[in-house]
Structure 1
Amino acid sequence: MATLDTPADTAAPPQAEERTTLKAWFAVVSVAVGIFTLVTAEQLPIGLLTSVGSALQVSEGTAGLMVTVPGLVAALSAPLVPVVVGRMDRRYLLVGLMTVMAVANLVTVLAPNFGILLASRVLVGVTIGGFWAIAGGLAFRLVQPAAIPRATALIFGGVAAANVLGVPTGTLIGGLAGWRTAFAVLGVLAFAVLVALLVLLPKLPATKPVSVPELLAQFGNRGVRAGIIATALIVTGHLAAYTYVSPMLQQVSGVDEDLISLLLLGFGVAGIVGNFVAGAAVSKNLARTMTVIIVALAAAMLLFPVLGRSQAGGIALLVLWGLAFGGVSVSLQTWMLKYAPDSMEAASALWVSVFNLSIALGALVGGLVADNIELTTVAWIGGAVVLLTAATLPSLRLSGKAAQ
């Protein structure tokens, strides 16, 4: 019987290594880069709020809708796209969705006003939800059984890489060449990915189309339900504050605007370290790993208005923030994959929906607070919401023991 801290896959007998072709591994990499592109596209505005707002003459809170809108749309499209497309070959579905992403970024680059730009973000949301929901279980169809754990980690690594590298790199490009150039580069990357998917992916007919009853049945899985609660709280709290980390660093810590892109890149480097550390830790003790992440993430935000009032303090807390959030995706993904092995596409669709809904909610709450109360309050609220997750850990532990 598997428990929360002894993943089910560790109890399975070792399998004989079967050869996975090089083309199959390239296909896995193309899916991972696709995930990286989508998540980067969703969160890239975080590092460009000030420049976009100035260029299109909207407030930073209004510019935050660039994160809120695709998050809401992705939350809807994640469960709907798999149901609507039915038995459509997943290869052509993924290629089509990535084509929409390339077009959406082109519209963003050419947008003459904020309204047109926001419309392009709707297309981004459709692509994120549909692509991510389908891609979650593709490792099982692309590689041999013995290679599935590595392939799955690589695909989901695209999420972590986007969170810790995509936004800082995009911000750096935007700072050097303008925000439209940053989205143009993203559009070129999306086009390259769609070509790679078309060339490398085999035919992927739907073996088990997702249905509404199957989606609803996932809420009866205690492990899945607990993971969704944790996802909602952590992601909402993080995005409420992190969406406005750039203006906070400038206004609270006194950091020069020209240094923001480099600091966010440092956040990304810290996140990579956190991702690898958490990845090694979750297989040994998932509950303990999540506890450390929650406490560190909440502390970084709650302490920012107090200890972040100097450049040194702000930078130190940003590094802690990056370390903690770098481990979030791998921990939550491990949780969901563990407790829904037989309904991966359905559970993945629900998880993606909640993840993106939480991104939208966090950005929206942060925007309302930043515009109507005080900028530093977003850090208080974000940290408090993340800290609430600690109260769910006993029930998560209980759910884990009862899940198998």
Structure 2
Amino acid sequence: MTDTPTRTVTAGAADPAQLTAAPPGAHRWAPVLAVGLVTFTLVSSEMMPVGLLPPISHALGVTDGVTGLSLTITGLIAAALSLLAPTLVGRRDRRTVLVAFMLLLALANGLCALAPDFTVLAVGRVLLGGALGIVWGLVPSLGPRLADGRRIALAMTVIFSGVSVASVLGVPLGTYLAVLLDWRAAFWTLAALGVVCAAVLALTLPPLPASGPARPGGPFGALRHRGVATGIAVTALVVLGHFAGYTYVRPALEAARDDVGGAALTGGAVAACLLVYGLAGVAGNFTVGPLSGRRPRAALVIALAGIALATLLLPHATGSVVTVLLVLVLWGVSYGGVSVSTQTWVRIAAPAEFEATAALWACVFNACIALGSAAGGLVVDRAGTDAVLLTASVTVAAGLLLTVVSRPGAAR
């Protein structure tokens, strides 16, 4: 099985390094770390309801399935806007746009913290989806603009490390805040973090003008590359499966399992399990992620196989906390490499269209978060947590099969 090595620029393509204020070939770590903080905040904001489903549901008088729809609302809006982000932003400096929409993210989280009922919470999540959509539509294309060719893979790993670190610090700390104080404290913290991100971006990012004129067909035009189309399909399947299961992992861990001699975990124990999962995700990001720069298909096969196996095993591993943790470590390490690996796949399939493919990837990623959490909610409400984890495993396994028979550098 041979992978296509990472390429950054093809003949006739604009050199992303020339689009920044840095000298050609320079690598500026402060902006890369700043964007990593942004991805941490984005994911923490979007996924916070995962760790707070029961307390939010109880406070607002709705079911866990209804509360799970707060992820669906955010994801659908983020998906639509991320696809349109390059067009909506036009020729505006990307730095200015990123700062403005991180402030909108702060406002949205503040509204969620104040929500007296699900309707107001939903409005806050709508605003959050708008902020996420524009920011996610631009962020995946920043790696090639902030790093030279030799360091793009490392820069992308650092940028997407925020996704994994959000699982370590974001959702688990939000869960602990809900136990110690109130679930609203988690959203207030995210609001403050959004303001911090806006300030850091304003101070560290170089000017980021538009990458060039719009190409025919927009982001969808990139699908004429077979490697891009395959990468987008794999991204859809793994994200659908993962979020169908992960959105409802807390109810799954809290459910008593008499058939395997298990007992329901408490809120504190669940938070500890999610913390272990997040630490494993960081490890996966910095191991599987860099591998994707050299062997993108191998990296994706490892990631998808681990997720499919973990979601299949988790319902049968609740006989003890140790087995639960082992399965969550496998799941976390595997999913930790998904963002970098899938984004690398679509980028190297059409390197001359890096902003268009990044917007398309972000659209599909966010849409599938929404669809996955919605589908998981339907399955949970009708068939329970074991069924939703099995559904997740089968969906990710389909993505694994497609990855095995494909390659990112396929001909157009």
Q: Same fold (TM over 0.5)?
A: yes
RMSD of aligned alpha carbons: 2.5
Q: Which residue of 1 aligns with 2:106?
A: 102
* CA gap 1:110/1:210 in 2 versus in 1, 3 angstroms: farther
User: CA offset at residue 170 of structure 1?
Assistant: 2.4
Match 2:128 to one of 100, 116, 124? 124
Match 1:201 to one of 187, 205, 209? 205
* CA gap 1:370/1:149 in 2 versus in 1, 3 angstroms: closer
User: CA offset at residue 49 of structure 1?
Assistant: 0.5
Q: Contact (CA 8 Å) 2:167, 2:275: kept in 1 or not?
A: no
Q: Which residue of 2 aligns with 1:402?
A: 410
User: CA offset at residue 392 of structure 1?
Assistant: 0.7
Residues 252-401 of structure 1: pairs in structure 2 closer than 5 A: 252=257, 253=262, 254-397=264-407, 400-401=408-409
- Three-state SS of the structure 1 residue aligned to 2:124 is helix
- Three-state SS of the structure 2 residue aligned to 1:87 is coil
In 2, distance between residues paired with 1:306 and 1:195?
46
In 2, distance between residues paired with 1:39 and 1:261?
17
In 2, distance between residues paired with 1:25 and 1:390?
34
Residues 225-244 of structure 1: pairs in structure 2 closer than 5 A: 225-244=229-248
* CA gap 1:323/1:31 in 2 versus in 1, 3 angstroms: closer
Provide structure 1 residue ranges, at least 5 long, that are not aligned to the other structure. Answer: 12-16
Q: Which residue of 1 aligns with 2:6?
A: 7
Q: Contact (CA 8 Å) 1:53, 1:59: kept in 2 or not?
A: yes
In 2, distance between residues paired with 1:372 and 1:77?
32
Q: Contact (CA 8 Å) 1:160, 1:329: kept in 2 or not?
A: no
Aligned residue identity for 2:384: E
User: CA offset at residue 144 of structure 1?
Assistant: 5.6
Q: Contact (CA 8 Å) 1:275, 1:326: kept in 2 or not?
A: yes
**1:127-146 CA distance string (max 9 Å, x none):** 11211211222244445666
Q: Which residue of 2 aligns with 1:14?
A: none
Q: Which residue of 1 aligns with 2:172?
A: 168
The alignment's TM-score, normalised by the length of structure 1, stands at 0.90
User: CA offset at residue 245 of structure 1?
Assistant: 0.5
The alignment's TM-score, normalised by the length of structure 2, stands at 0.89
Aligned residue identity for 1:172: Y
Aligned residue identity for 1:402: A
Deviation larger for 320-329 or 132-141:
132-141
- Three-state SS of the structure 2 residue aligned to 1:378 is helix
* CA gap 1:207/1:302 in 2 versus in 1, 3 angstroms: closer
Kindly indicate whether residue 72 of structure 2 is the aligned counterpart of residue 81 of structure 1.
no
Provide structure 2 residue ranges, at least 5 long, that are not aligned to the other structure. Answer: 11-22
In 2, distance between residues paired with 1:401 and 1:76?
27
* CA gap 1:139/1:290 in 2 versus in 1, 3 angstroms: closer
Aligned residue identity for 2:397: L
In 1, distance between residues paired with 2:146 and 2:6?
23
Match 1:156 to one of 160, 163, 179? 160
**1:270-326 CA distance string (max 9 Å, x none):** 112222221343344332332222222111111222233443332322222112211
Kindly indicate whether residue 47 of structure 2 is the aligned counterpart of residue 43 of structure 1.
yes
Number of equivalenced pairs: 395
In 2, distance between residues paired with 1:209 and 1:9?
19
Q: Contact (CA 8 Å) 2:8, 2:144: kept in 1 or not?
A: no
Identity %: 38
In 1, distance between residues paired with 2:235 and 2:293?
19
